[in-house]
Amino acid sequence: MWWLAAGVVATAVHFVLPEGGLAGSVVYDLIGLATAVGILLALRLHRPERPAMWRWFAAGQITFVIGDVIYGYYEQVLDKSPYPSPADVFYLASYPMLVMGLLLLVRRRRSGSGDLIDAAIVATGIGLVFWLFVLQPVAADAGVSALERVTTVAYPAADTLLIALLARLFTSGGARSPSARLLVAGAVLMLAADTAFAVLPLYTSASLHLADPIFLLSYVLWSAAALHPSMAGERGGGARGAATVGPSRLLLFGACSLLAPALLFVPGIGGSPIGRFSVAVGAGALILLVIARMSGFVFEVRRQSAELTRAAMQDELTGLASRRCLEDTLRDALAGGGRPQIALLGLNGFKNVNDELGRPVGDRLLTSLATRLRAVAPDDALIARIGGDEFAVLLVSSSAEEARTVASTLAHTLSAPVAVGGHELYVGVAIGLAGGAGVTPVELLRQAESAMYAAKQTGEPVRRWSPTLDERAGEFVRLGAEIRAALDSGQFRVVYQPIVDLPSGRVAAVEALVRWEHPTRGLVSPAAFIPVAERNGLIVELGEWILRTACHRLAAWRASLGAGAPDRVSVNVSARQLARPHFAATVAAALADSGLPASCLAVEVTETAVFEGGQAVVALHELRALGVRIALDDFGTGHSSLGLLQTVPVDILKVDKSFVDDVTEAGRHTVIAEALYQVSSGLGLVAVAEGVETAAQAEALHRIGYRYLQGFHFGRPVADPDFALTTVIATAEPQEARA
């Protein structure tokens, strides 16, 4: 900007100096020399990757300056103004250098045949105008010599060539940097100056000194283009953006097409045989070029349409068919009266791969699984990826039994571990089957999806859709809405089951459990509504309400019963609650609001809730830091119970009821119960045996070493436990006497 400002000021100074004077000539030459130096300075300042283009520009500018110096010598020293003169040799010699620089710039930009046609349209339109108003009048002027006519015509002709090259640059889809824009502006001003130099003597008596400022400004713009930092980015070779038929291009083509007939209305053109012939030739060339360009646009639109169709019909990552392709093929099969079968595959645990190993590993896993599907699917099957971790196999002409056989093969193939990025990964798969006639593609996909989710819930590898699944899904939806209403209207109740300390029979703790007193259904079992709340996320709100209620209740017992109150209350926490980043803060707020010490609260989690690690284990460590005790519920029934003791902060092990049922009989269950007690004792953990229903079980567990027991033998879950009564019935009396 400073360079442009200085150049404009210097140009204004030259213009106000006396015409033909020594001072004006010196200022003119200094400006030309400064612009050449500016280009050379820019080469050292910005160091473009390919400087040859700018070196040609600098050479052309220096040649211009030499011509100016020679012409100034003739004017100021020899007091002559010859035309043409030796100075014109240098002036004209500079154009090939500028053309070479622009050719290097244009060649580095990838451009197609359409860009060449665009440039040809612009060059033809400009050339027609220049021929009619500049070149032809100069060539027809009988008052000048042939050498003078050739020299005068050569300047605008060379400028037209420069404009044509720059038109190709600007009609391509590449980015237009400030440096390129300054180059175009400089070339346009040079064309205007040369045109003025040729036209002024033909049509006016004005002084040629009027063209000098335009020449100087073109010099300044050329050097400014080199000095701009974006000149280093004029390296070319980059991908060319697709040219579009925008308003500017429509205006360009329209103006060029109408240019030739419009020239016929110019006085002296339409009445001249040469003018009419020139317009006819120019109009014909422009029409042909525009037709060729529009044909290119039509071809480009068709090509892009084909690419969009291919992209819509094919999954970009795996190369399989897309959901749209699947639906179209399914629609055609159903319309033809067929009974297509579809197998919808949903991966299990794929989200964990993305979360723990990153999306690139997940993408490679999907690609590997897609390759396996191609290898084992029937040749006439359509394989599609319809979601992030869901695939579909469409069997157009297979029976239901054949579809089940194919699905079983797919399940077996995908169950093998996959080696990706140095990891041995395993993701299970659940497959839902659906098929038949008389349904829409959307409905058939919905049925397959419903069967796939049912397979995930039951652990089956393959499940076929049946109307029962829809009834169950409808019941889940209705029950979910009723749970929401129950939370708002206070239909839930918290009951407490005692955990006794043997041999004293004292109630050492209670476990808080939730019950739903439905106004029309009556008492709804937790086994019916807890899975629904887990699925729709309401378990988070329900769990927080249970937590706060239990904390307030134990705090009230401590205040009213003193030493007779339980030492702690256990609250069950779901995997969804643990997955919340701020769950520990929720627990801390419940403790603070109730005034209950953190040591009086135990959080019970299942092994499956913390098996996969991640945020769940982080939440447990945060709870431990608060002073809350951690109980591992249903211990011994999970995937890797002993392994969890190394990663999960645990204070209490709650031995599952399945190991208690037959503890009175010598055998495997007794050995396991003893082993679990030894594990907890060796690790310094508290062992609680669940599901104690008889005095014999209590006695057997006590002989093994268990101190804390829980079960119907000591009391059922009730809203207001009678701790004194529980202490009385906790003695090892015969069951008949208690009854």
Q: What is the pLDDT of residue 739?
A: 30
Tell me the pLDDT of the chain averaged across its residues: 82
- DSSP 3-state assignment of 228? coil
Phi, psi of 248 (to 5 degrees): -65, -40
pLDDT tens digit string along 705-716?
999 999 999 889
Poorest-pLDDT segment among 34-38, 545-549, 588-592: 34-38
CA distance 185 to 178: 10
- pLDDT band of residue 241 (cuts 50, 70, 90) is very low
* Most confidently predicted of 175-179, 285-289, 402-406, 641-645: 402-406
- pLDDT band of residue 249 (cuts 50, 70, 90) is low
Beta strand segments in 525-628, E: 568-572, 601-606
- pLDDT band of residue 596 (cuts 50, 70, 90) is very high
Strand pairing report for 418-420 and 423-425:
antiparallel
Poorest-pLDDT segment among 81-85, 232-236, 623-627: 232-236
Q: Is the pLDDT of residue 640 over 50?
A: no
Residue (of 224, 105, 249) closest to 174 by Cα position: 105
Q: Is the pLDDT of residue 452 over 60?
A: yes
More confident residue, 31 or 426: 31
More confident residue, 334 or 475: 334
Q: What is the pLDDT of residue 531?
A: 83
Measured from the Cβ of residue 74, the count of other Cβ atoms closer than 10 Å reads: 16
- pLDDT band of residue 141 (cuts 50, 70, 90) is low
pLDDT tens digit string along 371-380?
999 999 998 8
Cβ contacts of 50 within 8 Å, gap of 6 or more: 104, 108, 235, 236
The model's pTM is 0.48
Q: Are 719 and 708 in contact (CB under 8 A)?
A: no
Q: Is the pLDDT of residue 238 over 50?
A: no
- pLDDT band of residue 116 (cuts 50, 70, 90) is low
Q: What is the pLDDT of residue 625?
A: 93
Q: Is the pLDDT of residue 341 over 50?
A: yes
Q: Count Cβ neighbours within 10 Å for each residue of 30-63 and write b for 16 or more, e otherwise.
A: ebbbbbbebbbbbbeebebeebebbbbbbbbbbb
Q: What is the pLDDT of residue 337?
A: 83
Q: Is the pLDDT of residue 419 over 80?
A: yes
Average pLDDT over residues 507-529: 89
Poorest-pLDDT segment among 10-24, 231-245, 616-630, 692-706: 231-245
Q: Are 445 and 465 in contact (CB under 8 A)?
A: no
- pLDDT band of residue 107 (cuts 50, 70, 90) is low
Percent pLDDT > 90 in the chain is 21
pLDDT tens digit string along 176-198?
678 878 887 887 888 788 777 76
pLDDT tens digit string along 260-269?
777 777 776 7
Average pLDDT over residues 17-31: 83
Average pLDDT over residues 354-362: 82
Q: Is the pLDDT of residue 173 over 70?
A: no
- pLDDT band of residue 48 (cuts 50, 70, 90) is confident
- The tokens 């590449």 sit on which residue? 174
CA distance 227 to 224: 5
- The tokens 């979910």 sit on which residue? 480
- pLDDT band of residue 612 (cuts 50, 70, 90) is low
Report the residue count for the chain.
739
- pLDDT band of residue 727 (cuts 50, 70, 90) is very low
Average pLDDT over residues 681-690: 90
pLDDT tens digit string along 307-332?
887 777 888 888 898 888 888 898 88
Helix %, strand %, coil % for the chain, to 5? Answer: 65, 15, 25
Instruction: Give the Cα-Cα-Cα angle 134, 135, 138 (nearest 5 degrees).
Output: 85
